[in-house]
């Protein structure tokens, strides 16, 4: 288990250059508890398959996964139900719409969410996680996070979860629409309870980089070689990260950065460079698509400097 990451003057300089862009962004406040984050924060951890790691900024500071959790629930739902079951209910195509859009749910035939990285698709995926109660399902998701990070104390922030639960009316609308069309089953309030708790799972940049590393390493713990996610499922997850991970900015991100990645409105970005490294970033000031503005700049600079595009 990695305890201390190396620092690098070069990475520190890139972080400082990228941080300057934070002032052009805005912290998400539609979930009131997220509005308290410091827009100037920016930190990064990079973990390599050979056990080395690099860090810059305050990488021990915690933040919530938000939409990054969609990657984990997708992997778990496929492990629970198989690919066919999951993709009968959720599509595989990017939308070009904002992450919380309801528009295409009505116009798509058959009526199912276009992909698992937008809210509608993620809610449908969370609805497929095995377990009898919200606690049991959440417990399984947390155990999965513990396996990936090697840290068994990771849990969710009840403050952030409650704050989102009280204000999640758009997500409730998506759920009721999908329930009407038979895409989701069961109690919508319970689903929103589980979803807001999964989004509120609290990590730091090192934890996030470790999650990225397992995904990058074809689903295996790089230290023990133990399989946490089957190889084929880790491949599906990485592909969705490329096509839909940065929402309706995924195309531009693929060109400018070229690393499978997933963002969240807390300002987190998870990166997984196949067979090489995992990245965890947090920079709470967001651009108009809901992605960390300084985080994306930092990845752009790193990709250009170190030739990190997978393409």
Bind-site residues for substrate: 67, 119, 164, 171, 195, 247, 265
Q: Are 306 and 247 in contact (CB under 8 A)?
A: no
Binders of ligand GLN among 106-125, rule CB under 6 A? Answer: 119
∠ CA(191), CA(123), CA(106), 5° rounding?
120
Contact between 264 and ligand GLN per CB under 6 A: yes
> Which residues line the annotated binding site?
67, 119, 164, 171, 195, 247, 265
Task: In angstroms, give the least distance from the CB of 66 to ligand GLN.
Answer: 3
CA-based Rg of the chain, rounded to a whole angstrom? 18
Residue from 141, 72, 78, 86 nearest 115 by CA: 86
Residues taking part in catalysis: 67, 70, 195, 247, 265
Q: Which of 21, 63, 99, 156 binds ligand GLN (CB under 6 A)?
A: 99
Q: Cβ of 40: how many Cβ atoms within 10 Å?
A: 13
Specify the residue, 166 or 231, whose C-beta has the smaller distance to ligand GLN.
166
Contact between 265 and ligand GLN per CB under 6 A: yes
Specify the residue, 54 or 128, whose C-beta has the smaller distance to ligand GLN.
128
Specify the residue, 193 or 218, whose C-beta has the smaller distance to ligand GLN.
193
Tokens 């890139």, residue located: 14
Q: Which of 100, 115, 234, 292 binds ligand GLN (CB under 6 A)?
A: 100
Name residues whose C-beta falls within 8 Å of residue 50's C-beta, 6 or more positions apart in sequence: 222
Specify the residue, 126 or 303, whose C-beta has the smaller distance to ligand GLN.
126
- Cis, bond preceding 110 (omega within 30 deg of 0): yes
Backbone angles phi, psi at 56, to 5 degrees: -145, 145
| Interface positions with ligand GLN (CB under 6 A) | 66-67, 99-100, 119, 164, 171, 199, 264-265, 290
């Amino acid at each position: 288990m990695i305890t201390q990451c190396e620092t690098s003057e070069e990475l520190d300089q890139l972080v400082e250059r990228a941080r300057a862009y934070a002032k052009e962004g805005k912290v998400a406040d539609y979930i009131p508890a997220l509005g308290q984050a410091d827009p100037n924060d920016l930190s990064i951890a990079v973990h390599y398959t050979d056990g080395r790691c690099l860090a810059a900024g305050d990488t021990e500071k915690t933040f919530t996964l938000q939409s990054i959790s969609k990657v984990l629930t997708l992997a778990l739902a496929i492990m629970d139900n198989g690919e066919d079951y999951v993709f009968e209910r959720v599509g595989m195509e990017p939308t070009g719409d904002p992450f919380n859009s309801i528009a295409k749910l009505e116009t798509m035939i058959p009526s199912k969410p276009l992909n698992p990285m937008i809210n509608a698709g993620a809610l449908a995926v969370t609805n497929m996680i095995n377990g009898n109660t919200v606690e049991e399902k959440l417990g399984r998701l947390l155990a999965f996070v513990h396996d990936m990070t090697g840290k068994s104390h990771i849990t969710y922030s009840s403050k952030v979860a409650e704050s989102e639960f009280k204000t999640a009316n758009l997500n409730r609308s998506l759920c009721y629409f999908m329930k009407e069309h038979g895409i989701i089953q069961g109690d919508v309030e319970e689903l929103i309870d589980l979803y807001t708790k999964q989004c509120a799972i609290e990590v730091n940049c090192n934890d996030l980089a470790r999650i990225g590393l397992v995904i990058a390493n074809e689903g295996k713990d790089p230290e023990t070689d133990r399989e946490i996610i089957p190889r084929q499922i880790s491949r599906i997850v990485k592909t969705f990260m490329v096509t839909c991970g940065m929402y309706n900015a995924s195309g531009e991100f693929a060109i400018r950065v070229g690393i499978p990645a997933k963002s969240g409105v807390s300002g987190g970005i998870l990166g997984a460079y196949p067979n090489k490294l995992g990245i965890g970033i947090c920079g709470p000031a967001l651009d108009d698509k809901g992605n960390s503005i300084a985080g994306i700049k930092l990845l752009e600079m790193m990709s250009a400097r170190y030739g990190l595009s997978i393409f």
